[in-house]
Structure 1
Amino acid sequence: MRFAVMLAGSLLLLSGCSETDENAALLTLQSSTLEHRIQAEGELFAVNAISINAPQSTRGPRFIAEITPEYSSVSPGDLVIRFDATQLERSRRDASNALSGVLADQDFKGTQQQAELSTIGLDQRLVQQEFAFADRFSIDDIQIRSRLEILDSMQNKEFLGEKQSYLDWQQQSFANRSQGELDLLQLQKGQQQSLLTQAETGLAALEIRAQHKGILLYDSNWRGEKPEVGRMVFPGEKLGSIPDLSLQHVKLLIIEQESVGLAVDQPVFFRLTARPEQVLEGRIQSVGQVAQSRERRDPRRYIEVIVAPSAQQDFFLPGAKVRAEILANTLPEVLALPLQAIFSDEKGQYVWQQRGGSLQRQAVSLGAKSLTHAEIIEGLSAGDRISLLPPEN
């Protein structure tokens, strides 16, 4: 295509400016209009689009159970994707059963602790009664009771005091132990409730529905596969988008070496591959600052250019292929030569100018360039005859 453009430009300049010699590829230099036109390819895309992502509220991958075909027209509320609920239902059932078990353990542990606490309380009251009885009927008069009886009574009171202390310690130890067991059961209960809530939230998010009118576009994964029934997807994974068809722009990719002179607001003429007979117009909205590779095996780097069409058309669809021509620059009344007639070496740029009956080297200074021609600033004037080929050819 580039060679065709160069050849066409040369023929236009030759036909508009001069006639070629029959024996040599010569042309007469005259003022003309130099246009820098850049050919590019790209596609339409929707400016506004809602992403279709797998639900993030679920744990682990999910499997697609039902999916609406790509390029289908959807309205708000229409089903886009439904995920399989088998795993989530199993998780909810397991969490519910585990939660019921924890609640039963809590009830059993509460009953058991209450019974043990009641037993300790009864022992404490019994010791208090025995201690009160022993203290009330204690007689220390050796004239009434023997020394052995008095010692035995004192030892009995001492024993009751130690037993009372032991029961107090046992009650405190029981309270600490019981609180630890209850805290553990409460933690297990919270974990199972969290799992149950996650499962129920996941079940509620198994369906993805359209939020606005548009068409469905699905993304390919690293293997080039698009979403389909049975495919496994991970939480938050982007599956596609629903573009808003009311506003679409054109994305063009231009080879870095051919992108010189691109600027915002330059006119663009483009055709849809599906409608080559209709020429549409637009203007550059933005020019990428960094060139990027298009394919791994393609060594060329491309500049991304966004074009805003002058009018939105009913037949615009995201992804539609576009061939465009950008009018990067227009210079009226300049001296321009085809690039094939301009040579260069370590001394600079030059042309072969006809002088008399021979071709002579003439140094030139160049200005603006297009893909096929260059502006001559110094070294030549209108009417000079220039050879398109070096003398040896």
Structure 2
Amino acid sequence: GEKQDTLQWRRGQAGTRGGAELALLDAQHATFDLTAKDRQADLDALELRAPNDGVLLLTPSWSGDKPALGASMYAGTEFGSLPDTSAMEVQIDLPQIEAQGVATGNSVELHPLGRPDQRFTSRLSWVASAAKTLGRESPVKYLSVRAPVPAEVIARHGFVPGQRFTAKIVLAREADAIGVANVAIEQQDGKHWIKVREGRGFVRREIELGVRGSARSRVLKGLAAGEEVLLSAGGPAQPDDAQPGEATDQAKDKDKDAG
């Protein structure tokens, strides 16, 4: 009887030790499995997978320099992009002095540089909030705007990222609009004035302006087609009966684009 009790006790002890050892092995397995997953995640983070087919475009830095082999880069710095060719847009950089009146929704005519036969029309979808310089070489500020390229146009002409385009932004298009040179417009107390010929002299007249371009502005009220406007007080007079030292401009209907 005593031997049987001893044998059962030893069996119980062996089972207890075996369970403890199995629990230890399970804990070690879980630790190794977690370590393996962490290492695999680190390896996956080093691998870049393209979300779509396309051409890799290197992203220039603020100074305009593109990433090069051996160059140092800060963590999180974008060094390139892979645009989706099924949804592309054109970025247009306008000199600040020529960007007056440009707004989202303006029509824009585009074609690849040197290929006017591939002309198409779009509308501005984004306008930068402020103008900025494009590089350290020039202090000139530019206003950036963007216009989407229709998918059917991309497929038809085979456009690719990085192509250069010629753009013409249309501020307004009216069949019988009246325009006047900006140099002839005076501004005072929030109102706009021009000097219009009456007889051999000029009288000051208030006008209401519409769309304003870099060189000319549309006149909504205050000026009729055919009237002559004083451009400046200096320079030679254009008509034979103009007073000495006065340059004039004839208001006329415009069926071309303002801007």
TM-score bucket of the superposed structures, by smaller chain: 0.5 to 0.7
Following TM superposition, by how much is the alpha carbon of 1:299 offset from its aligned partner in structure 2, in angstroms?
A: 9.6
Q: CA deviation at 1:340?
A: 0.6
Which of the numbers 318, 331, 339 marks the counterpart of 2:182?
Answer: 339
Q: Distance in 1 between matches of 2:20 and 2:62?
A: 51
Given residue 372 of structure 1, which amino acid in structure 2 is its aligned partner? A
* Residue 192 to residue 178, structure 1, CA distance change in 2 (3 Å): same
Larger Rg: 1
CA offsets 1:248-283 (integer angstroms, 9 cap, x no match):
44233455953545426x2413342xx3x6354222
The aligned runs of 1:368-387 (5 Å cut-off) are 368-387=211-230
From 126, 129, 139, give the equivalent of 1:291. Answer: 129
Partner of 2:209: 366
Indicate the residue corresponding to 2:26 in structure 1.
186
Match of 2:109 among 245, 268, 281: 268
1:73-97 C-alpha deviation (Å, 9 max, x unpaired): xxxxxxxxxxxxxxxxxxxxxxxxx
The one-letter code matched in structure 2 to 1:281 is R
Identity of aligned residues (%): 21
* Structure 1 residues 193 and 225: alpha-carbon distance in aligned structure 2, compared to 1, 3 A threshold: farther
Q: Deviations over 1:182-234 (max 9, x none)?
A: 54443233222333455467668976676865433344678956374798997
2:67 maps to 1:226: yes
Q: TM-score, normalised by structure 1?
A: 0.43
Deviation at 1:284, TM superposition (A): 2.1
Q: 2:197 aligns with which of 354, 357, 379?
A: 354
Q: How big is the shift at 1:338?
A: 0.6
Aligned to 2:239: none
After TM superposition, give the deviation of residue 345 of structure 1 in Å: 1.4
Distance 1:344 1:378 in 2: 15
- CA-atom RMSD, angstroms? 4.9
Q: Which amino acid is 2:161 matched to?
A: P
CA distance in 2, matches of 1:390, 1:222: 45
Query: 1:319 is matched with which residue?
Result: 162
Q: Tell me, which stretches of 5 or more residues in structure 2 are unaligned?
A: 235-244, 247-259
Task: Tell me if structure 1 keeps the 8 A contact 2:108–2:124.
Answer: no
From the two aligned structures, give the one with the greater helix fraction: 1
Q: Does structure 1 residue 125 correspond to structure 2 residue 6?
A: yes
Alpha-carbon distance change, 238 to 369 in structure 1, aligned in 2, over 3 angstroms: closer
How many positions carry a matched residue from both structures?
225
Q: Which one is further off, 216-225 or 382-391?
A: 216-225
Change (3 A) 1:368 1:222: closer
- The 3-state SS of whatever aligns with 2:153 is coil
| C-alpha separation in 2, matches of 1:387 and 1:322 | 38
Distance 1:225 1:373, change over 3 A: closer
Structure 1 residue 278 corresponds to structure 2 residue 119? no
Hey, what's the Cα distance between the residues in 1 that align with 2:228 and 2:74?
69
Q: 1:122 to 1:207 in 2, by over 3 A?
A: farther
Contact map agreement 1:213 1:244 (CA 8 A) in 2: yes
* Aligned residue in 1 for 2:57: 217
Q: d(CA) in 2 for partners of 1:185 and 1:340?
A: 88
Change in 2 beyond 3 A, CA 1:335/1:247: closer
Change (3 A) 1:257 1:189: same
- 8 A contact 2:134–2:141 mirrored in 1: no
Aligned position for 2:91:
251
Of 291, 307, 312, the match for 2:148: 307
CA drift at 1:348 = 2.5
Shift of 1:344: 1.4
* Contact 1:292/1:302 (8 A) holds in 2: yes
